[in-house]
């Protein structure tokens, strides 16, 4: 019996040590697994073509920013990036203008059919919106919206609207009704109470949900490629031209698309699990 | 009081009105148009011709086959890997936040950029080949992309998608793990449960809802797989969404493209419906 206890007390530090080492090993594996592709694309984006095509040169030693210049100013990358930013901005504008009243209704009222509306918002999250690009193109051609950033932004709004409504509703619900009602007792109308009291309080959360919309719209390629021929967004532009370009352009394009996304995540990292875990469900 | 009874009854519906109008115009009407494209022939008569054309086309069956193959390889790998990562991070060792951020980095990456990142590693002059050549493991570069190499490209695509989308699953599962109260696990300790027993009898049942929804979301996404496949393998590995794109953007054949889209919609609807009924019945049993 005594032996057993001695054995146990002896073994615990060992077990802890093994655990510690294992934790470090797994952490290193995770780090290597996720960071390697990002590090390598950064190297390749700046590598000089001559180093790249030298098969025995694993790590390039000569670097250049020429590809960036060419991609942005000769191959219309800059214009595509501006288009992307406009589409994203319009998508956020449209989805909040249309969706915010609905999220307010969900967060503040009890009404018949509420759970049905909530469920249909959830269900429309599951709908493969991309296929709507095909009929939308035909409709857009009739009303002159084809090949415009407005057309793409409206299509992207379909994708993000249900998400914005649901996430914003839960954020608005977390702002206490009491402030709003107090303001209304002091004579503010409901709309003023919302704009002056609730909206500022909910703003940080709403910004986080706007970021979700940003990422979805910024990355979307199927709809953007089908709807627009000349006014292409960045992903659509790269998608159409990358595979016909020399390799070093592909890498620079990959870098240009990836790094904003990575920086983005760095800035919203604090909201990641609490917000995204819920909203992605 | 401040608002009359009438306002109270109608306000929520009025607030929902813009959303409903928007969805009717931008989802309802295009959907009707899709049906028109697929089921009404040029002469204006109802016809199943597009559907029949699709069913008789061997490319369609190939596309369905590869979509399902991707689904059944990628989704289980993603969910398993993400679950392991989530369990690992949830142990909250020193510096776990750092690991969390690293896992989250690809979260906002698009499939297009993931494909280019992957191309950078696996192409003939890519890092993998140069590295292997340097080590003397191979004498000539291994080709992963190109004609007749679709089975290699398949695995590169699987790897790329697992790399890119594991974080999306990870975040859902970690959120699910974090709401599990410590009390349950401590109660398990009191009853002398081993680590494994605690996992199978406490943790696993409690993250099940998150696991299920992660599984559903990834399954639905798998039917939309398109960008990575198109860039890395082109039509050597046809998939449903890729064929919809090809028929629309390259062949300018909207009816067939719409029919491909329609098939995706049907499959996604069936899966969501099955999921909701299974999920709901279980919820009611409890």
Mean pLDDT of B68-94: 93
Does A6 score more than 60 pLDDT? no
A244 touches chain B (CB under 8 A): no
A254 touches chain B (CB under 8 A): yes
Give the model's pLDDT for residue A275.
Answer: 60
Q: Which of A108, A128, A263 to mutate to test the interface with B (most CBs of B within 10 A)?
A: A128
B249 touches chain A (CB under 8 A): yes
State the average pLDDT for chain A: 86
| Distance in Å, alpha carbon of B61 to nearest chain A alpha carbon | 19
pLDDT tens for residues A150-192? 999 999 999 999 999 988 998 898 888 888 888 888 888 888 8
pLDDT tens for residues B152-204? 999 999 999 999 999 989 988 988 888 887 888 888 888 888 888 888 888 88
Give the model's pLDDT for residue A141.
Answer: 93
- The listed CATH number (3.40.50.970, 3.30.950.10, 1.10.3720.10, 3.10.620.30) that belongs to domain B57-285: 1.10.3720.10
A171 touches chain B (CB under 8 A): no
Does A54 score more than 60 pLDDT? yes
A249 and A193, same structural domain?
Answer: yes
| pLDDT band, very low/low/confident/very high, at B241 (cuts 50, 70, 90) | very high
Percentage above 90 pLDDT, chain A: 40
3-state secondary structure labels for all residues of chain A: CHHHHHHHHHHHHHHHHHHHHHHHHHHHHHHHHHHHHHHHHHHHHHECHHHHHCCCCCCCCCECCHHHHHHHHHCCHHHHHHHHHHHHHHHHHHHHHHHHHHHHHHHHCCCCCHHHHHHHHHHHHHCCHHHHHHHHHHHHHHHCCCCCHHHHHHHHHHHHHHHHHHHHHHHHHCCCHHHHHHHHHCCCCHHHHHHHHHHHHHHHHHHHHHHHHHHHHHHCCHHHHHHCCCCCCHHHHHHHHHHHCCHHHHHHHHHHHHHHHHHHHHHCHHHHHHHHHHHCC
Give the domain ranges of chain B.
1-47, 57-285
| pLDDT band, very low/low/confident/very high, at A136 (cuts 50, 70, 90) | very high
Give the model's pLDDT for residue B112.
Answer: 93
Q: Which of B16, B156, B231 to mutate to test the interface with A (most CBs of A within 10 A)?
A: B16
Count: domains in chain A: 2
| Distance in Å, alpha carbon of B74 to nearest chain A alpha carbon | 17
Contact A158 B175 (CB under 8 A): no
pLDDT tens for residues B253-284? 999 999 999 999 999 989 888 887 777 655 44
Contact B264 A99 (CB under 8 A): no
Q: What is the ipTM of this complex?
A: 0.87
A31 and A158, same structural domain?
Answer: no
In a domain? residue A10: yes
Give the model's pLDDT for residue B98.
Answer: 87
A112 and A10, same structural domain?
Answer: no
Give the model's pLDDT for residue B7.
Answer: 59
In a domain? residue A99: yes
- Show residues of chain B in contact with A126, CB under 8 Å: 216, 220, 268-269, 272
Give the model's pLDDT for residue B3.
Answer: 47
């Amino acid at each position: 019996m005594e032996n057993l206890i001695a054995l146990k007390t002896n073994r615990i530090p060992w077990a802890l040590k093994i655990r510690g080492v294992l934790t470090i090993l797994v952490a290193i594996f995770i780090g290597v697994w996720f960071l390697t592709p990002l590090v390598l694309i950064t190297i390749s984006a700046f590598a000089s073509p001559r180093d790249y095509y030298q098969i025995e040169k694993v790590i390039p030693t000569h670097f250049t920013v020429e590809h960036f210049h060419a991609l942005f100013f000769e191959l219309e990358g800059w214009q595509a990036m501006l288009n992307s930013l406009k589409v994203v901005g319009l998508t956020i504008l449209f989805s909040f203008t249309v969706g915010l009243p609905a999220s307010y209704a969900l967060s503040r009222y009890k009404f018949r059919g509420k759970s049905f509306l909530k469920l249909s918002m959830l269900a429309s999250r599951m709908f493969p919106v991309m296929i709507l690009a095909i009929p939308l193109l035909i409709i857009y051609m009739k009303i002159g919206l084809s090949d415009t950033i407005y057309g793409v932004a409206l299509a992207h709004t379909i994708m993000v609207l249900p998400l914005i409504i649901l996430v914003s509703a839960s954020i608005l619900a977390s702002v206490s009704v009491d402030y709003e009602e107090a303001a209304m007792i002091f004579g503010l109308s409901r709309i003023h109470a919302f704009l002056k009291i609730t909206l500022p309080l909910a703003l940080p959360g709403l910004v986080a949900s706007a970021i979700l919309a940003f990422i979805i719209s910024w990355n979307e390629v199927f709809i953007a490629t089908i709807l627009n021929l000349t006014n292409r967004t960045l992903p659509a532009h790269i998608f159409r031209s990358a595979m016909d370009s020399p390799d070093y352009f592909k890498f620079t394009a990959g870098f240009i698309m990836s790094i904003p996304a990575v920086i983005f995540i760095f800035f919203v990292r604090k909201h990641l699990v609490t917000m995204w875990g819920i909203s992605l469900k | 009081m401040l608002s009359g009874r009438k306002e109270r009854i109608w306000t929520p519906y009025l607030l929902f009105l813009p959303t409903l109008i928007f969805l009717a115009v931008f989802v309802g009407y295009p959907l009707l148009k899709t049906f028109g494209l697929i089921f009404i022939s040029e002469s204006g008569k109802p016809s199943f011709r597009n559907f029949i054309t699709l069913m008789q086309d061997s490319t369609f069956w190939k596309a369905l086959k590869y979509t399902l193959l991707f689904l059944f390889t990628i989704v289980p790998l993603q969910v398993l890997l993400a679950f392991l990562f989530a369990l690992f991070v949830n142990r909250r060792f020193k510096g776990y936040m750092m690991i969390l951020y690293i896992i989250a980095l690809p979260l906002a990456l698009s499939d297009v950029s993931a494909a280019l990142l992957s191309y950078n590693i696996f192409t003939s002059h890519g890092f993998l080949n140069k590295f292997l050549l340097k080590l003397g493991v191979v004498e000539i570069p291994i080709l992963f992309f190109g004609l007749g190499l679709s089975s290699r490209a398949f695995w590169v695509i699987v790897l790329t998608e697992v790399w890119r989308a594991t974080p999306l699953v990870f975040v859902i599962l970690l959120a699910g793990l974090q709401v599990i109260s410590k009390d349950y696990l401590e109660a398990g300790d009191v009853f002398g449960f081993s680590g494994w027993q605690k996992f199978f009898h406490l943790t696993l049942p409690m993250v099940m809802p998150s696991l299920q929804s992660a599984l559903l979301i990834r399954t639905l996404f798998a039917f939309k797989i398109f960008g990575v496949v198109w860039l890395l393998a082109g039509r050597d590995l046809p998939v449903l969404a890729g064929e919809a794109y090809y028929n629309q953007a390259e062949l300018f054949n909207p009816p067939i493209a719409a029919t491909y889209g329609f098939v995706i919609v049907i499959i996604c609807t069936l899966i969501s419906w099955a999921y909701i009924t299974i999920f709901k019945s279980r919820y009611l049993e409890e």
